[in-house]
Structure 1
Amino acid sequence: MKLTVVGGGSTYTPELVDGFARLRDVLPLEELVLVDPATDRLEPVAGLARRIFARQGHDGRIVTTSDLDRAADGADAVLLQLRVGGQAAREQDETWPLECGCVGQETTGAGGLAKALRTVPVVLDVADRVRRASPHAWIIDFTNPVGIVTRALLRAGHKAVGLCNVAIGLQRKFAALLGVAPAEVHLDHVGLNHLTWETAVRLGGPEGKDVLPDLLAGHGDTIAEDLRLPRPLLDRLGVIPSYYLRYYYLHDKVVEEMRTRPSRAAEVAALERELLTLYADPALDEKPALLARRGGAHYSEAAVDLAAALLGGEGSAYQVVNTFNRGTLPFLPDDAVIEVQAAVGPRGATPLPVPSVGPLLAGLMANVAAYEDLALDAALHGGRDRVLRALLAHPLVGQYEYAEALTDRLIAHNREHLAWA
């Protein structure tokens, strides 16, 4: 089995490689290809990757290249973890929206739109080349904003599934709080990428007992602190939101926090410099503890499970993924991309039935889904008016004066990445 990682020079990659090594019985890789134009990053990352495989007794071959077509040739699955513009572009996404009193974040709001505009054309070009090189290959997208990018891939007819680590992270945390194995915890996870809620926490599978009320009663303070959300909010909602709902439920507070501390991009850039120095040490043969601060926890387990299931192996039958709605949530269009539990197999991902969703959650989902539709239109076709329309639709922007000012800032900061600007 051959798996290709586009963006293989990412500092995330050792997390992924560690999972491939530990879970080789689930996903028996013969060849792992790391492709990245940034060879200065690729080589230290690949060196550590080979040492991780050797330490854990994995006999798979790790290949590096900057040639995407060669990397994709004959691949069974291609995992996308791109960051167009690097951390410098992310730094901009997190700062210029604050000038208008809006959240600066790389996956949602105005910054998230900027990332989508930079990313979608590049990902579609990569996917077209993958399809020519290996028509049977599955594309697993971990590139943010995952919902918009996955929608672009699916609408273009690619064999693609979107993946995020939010659900698996919460599953692991809840399992620890409940004192059970992670495999015993099944989440009723519903929403759009980075706009999700756990409406039930079931023990034993999709039909298992819902212990979410007990979880909130016994561990609500811990969960609220971890999500940085008020405990009374969780009690009122009766569900557990993802961390990203902070940007909606506590918008103004988050903006003030962002204005008074270094950006996450600056923190990550510093971490990456430290990590790359560590990776270059020939004595290091395991992922360093510092990598946990980079984010992406449990990403490797989710990726292994998904790839194995898509390729007919021993991956989990049920997994939280991003895929077409197709009537699962009746208040959203069929071609909206939702993030829910799905049955995953060689034919792709089929969402499991979702209990009725109340208006408090459904209204926000519908609003953001409409924004994502306009955002994809702007990413595919360009133009100032399309950017403005997307920003007007986003609940974290909305007001006309803000949308006008943010449109100008977005274009000014991203002109080199926008063919139409």
Structure 2
Amino acid sequence: MKKFSVVIAGGGSTFTPGIVLMLLDNLDKFPLRTLKFYDNDKDRQEKIAGACEIIVKERAPEIEFVATVDPEEAFTDVDFVMAHIRVGKYAMRALDEKIPLKYGVVGQETCGPGGMAYGMRSIGGVFEIIDYMEKYSPDAWMLNYSNPAAIVAEACRKLRPNSKVLNICDMPVSIERRMAETLGLASRKELVVRYYGLNHFGWWTDIRDKAGNDLMPKIKEHVVKNGYVVTSGDRQHTEATWNDTFTKARDVFALDPNTLPNTYLQYYLFPDYIVGHSNKEYTRANEVMDGREKFVFGECEKIVVNQSTEGSALHVDMHASYIVDLARAIAYNTHERMLLIVENNGAIENFDPTGMVEIPCIVGSNGPEPLSIGKIPQFQKGLMEQQVSVEKLVVEAWEEGSYQKLWQAMTLSKTVPSASVAKSILDDLIEANKDFWPTLKKEQQELEQVLN
């Protein structure tokens, strides 16, 4: 059986140890010869890599392990690039969340103005990794789960149309795990789902078991009472605010009881509630820095000090299993059915053909084959058209260096009440992101000069 070479781009991420553990758990299905880490922050990566090297030596000493900040060393002779970068790290995420909240607007890392700010930082970073891959390993595939996935996916469609990049998200996977628990099933893989939308912006329309039995009524019964809250939850979404998110799914569901919603729709449909229940001084970024980040770095430090994983509390991240499944589908042409972010191209009949939609696909060695969704209802269509326009305007703003288009994108977002509020938030975000964003031309100022 062929053995694969994988590079994890974002080797210093707190999610990296979970991915390594998942890869090691699946060596019988997806054997590795080389595992590499790449990051542009050497110090941060070394803390994670030091522990992961010990984990690999204990579990699979035959695998070559490399941690590097040199792109040529990282990307030469690889079959898959698993990318989860965060340009600006959690310090910038905190600003993405706190600046909009200052103006009474949802502060969230992938939704609303914060998501657009993050997108403006991410596009260049993701493109840099694509370009390294294509230079040093042109036959490799990139499995990208760097956020905000919707904006990154649109940027790849528009500006890297021929690149072998698949954009994925773990949130539907996490919700489906909760659905499976609600039903008393051992795994989300026992579910056959129909789903459509944009990333962090979608709906399940049909959920069955392998025998074809309709499972939607039982899940809906649970959601009406509890949202997506379950007894065991998951190990990834542990911050206190996640419980509120999974509970709020009850209210999102009430808007269209024919479907089951993605939790992120709460930010667009109940922005007043979200802002009212947000701590403007201590956001989810702070929760992650004080919780997950300290935990992962602390556990890694213990492994390095002890030169052993004995007693380690590091665990597999659920989103990692999805990445292994996707890599296997491409490597072995398994034709597994998976939710991916792909160009619509008629899959949703009455929606923009160039929109990047999240829908079930059959995945094989040539990549994804999207399944036909048909026509969608007016409510969802209207919401999606507004949001896909936001995403396209952000990418155009990045490409053209256009202040005007980014202002338009923020004004168009369902989370923002007016153009004047959008402008205030945008001006603050420009100042905060001056080291990360392309320089934006102020077309409005130029226009005012002409009119004067």
Coarse TM-score class (shorter-chain normalised): over 0.9
Residue 301 (1) aligns with residue 321 (2): yes
Residue 273 (1) aligns with residue 276 (2): no
Residue equivalent to 1:321: 340
Q: Matched residue of 2:32: which SS?
A: coil
What does the per-residue CA deviation read over 1:2-45, in whole Å, with 9 as the maximum and x for residues that have no partner? 11111111111011011101111221111111011222221231
Rg bigger for which structure?
A: 2
Residue equivalent to 2:240: none
Residue equivalent to 2:446: none
The one of 356, 360, 363 equivalent to 2:375 is 356
The structure whose RCO (Cα within 8 Å, separation 6+) is larger is 1
List alignment gaps of at least 5 residues for structure 1. Answer: none
Residue equivalent to 1:374: 393
Residue equivalent to 1:185: 191
TM superposition shift of 1:219: 5.5
The one of 7, 10, 13 equivalent to 2:16 is 13
Q: Matched residue of 2:109: which SS?
A: coil
| CA distance 1:122–1:223, shift in 2 (3 Å) | same
What does the per-residue CA deviation read over 1:148-170, in whole Å, with 9 as the maximum and x for residues that have no partner? 11222233121111111112112
Residue equivalent to 2:210: 204
Q: How does 1:32-181 map to 2 (within 5 A)?
A: 32-57=35-60, 59-155=62-158, 156=160, 157-181=162-186
| CA distance 1:143–1:232, shift in 2 (3 Å) | closer
Q: Matched residue of 2:426: which SS?
A: helix
Q: Does the CA contact (< 8 Å) of 1:93 and 1:110 recur in 2? A: yes
TM superposition shift of 1:332: 2.7
Letter in 2 for 1:213: P
Partners of 1:67 and 1:243 in 2: CA distance: 39
Q: Matched residue of 2:277: which SS?
A: helix
| CA distance 1:219–1:87, shift in 2 (3 Å) | closer
What does the per-residue CA deviation read over 1:61-109, in whole Å, with 9 as the maximum and x for residues that have no partner? 2210001222111211111111111111101000011122110111111
Letter in 2 for 1:36: D
Residue equivalent to 1:417: 436
TM superposition shift of 1:334: 2.1
List alignment gaps of at least 5 residues for structure 2. Answer: 230-242, 441-452
Letter in 2 for 1:200: D
Residue equivalent to 2:449: none
The one of 289, 292, 309 equivalent to 1:285 is 309
Partners of 1:174 and 1:269 in 2: CA distance: 29
Q: Does the CA contact (< 8 Å) of 2:347 and 2:374 recur in 1? A: no
Q: Does the CA contact (< 8 Å) of 1:171 and 1:187 recur in 2? A: no
TM superposition shift of 1:133: 0.9
| CA distance 1:65–1:112, shift in 2 (3 Å) | same
| CA distance 1:180–1:88, shift in 2 (3 Å) | same
The one of 274, 282, 288 equivalent to 1:254 is 274
Partners of 1:189 and 1:286 in 2: CA distance: 41
Deviates more, 1:208-217 or 1:408-417: 208-217
| CA distance 1:346–1:115, shift in 2 (3 Å) | same
Letter in 2 for 1:4: V
What does the per-residue CA deviation read over 1:223-253, in whole Å, with 9 as the maximum and x for residues that have no partner? 3545222636524522221121111222111
Deviates more, 1:411-420 or 1:283-292: 283-292
Deviates more, 1:326-335 or 1:6-15: 326-335
Deviates more, 1:84-93 or 1:238-247: 238-247
Q: Does the CA contact (< 8 Å) of 1:105 and 1:112 recur in 2? A: yes
Q: Does the CA contact (< 8 Å) of 2:249 and 2:263 recur in 1? A: no
Partners of 2:153 and 2:174 in 1: CA distance: 21
The one of 394, 400, 405 equivalent to 2:413 is 394
Deviates more, 1:176-185 or 1:48-57: 48-57
Q: Does the CA contact (< 8 Å) of 1:151 and 1:323 recur in 2? A: no
TM superposition shift of 1:51: 3.1
Partners of 1:169 and 1:287 in 2: CA distance: 27
TM-score normalised according to structure 1 size: 0.92
Q: Does the CA contact (< 8 Å) of 2:349 and 2:374 recur in 1? A: no
Q: Does the CA contact (< 8 Å) of 1:80 and 1:142 recur in 2? A: yes
TM-score normalised according to structure 2 size: 0.86
Q: Does the CA contact (< 8 Å) of 2:6 and 2:35 recur in 1? A: yes
Q: Matched residue of 1:199: which SS?
A: strand
> What is the count of residue pairs matched by the alignment?
414
Letter in 2 for 1:273: K
Partners of 1:260 and 1:110 in 2: CA distance: 15
Letter in 2 for 1:180: L
Q: Does the CA contact (< 8 Å) of 1:331 and 1:366 recur in 2? A: no
Partners of 1:105 and 1:345 in 2: CA distance: 34
In angstroms, what is the RMSD of aligned CA positions? 2.1
Partners of 1:116 and 1:309 in 2: CA distance: 28
Partners of 1:419 and 1:176 in 2: CA distance: 45
Partners of 1:8 and 1:177 in 2: CA distance: 35
| CA distance 1:233–1:384, shift in 2 (3 Å) | closer
Residue equivalent to 1:385: 404
Sequence identity, in percent? Answer: 28
Q: Does the CA contact (< 8 Å) of 2:299 and 2:313 recur in 1? A: no
Residue 213 (1) aligns with residue 232 (2): no
Letter in 2 for 1:184: E
TM superposition shift of 1:390: 1.1
Q: Does the CA contact (< 8 Å) of 2:299 and 2:314 recur in 1? A: no
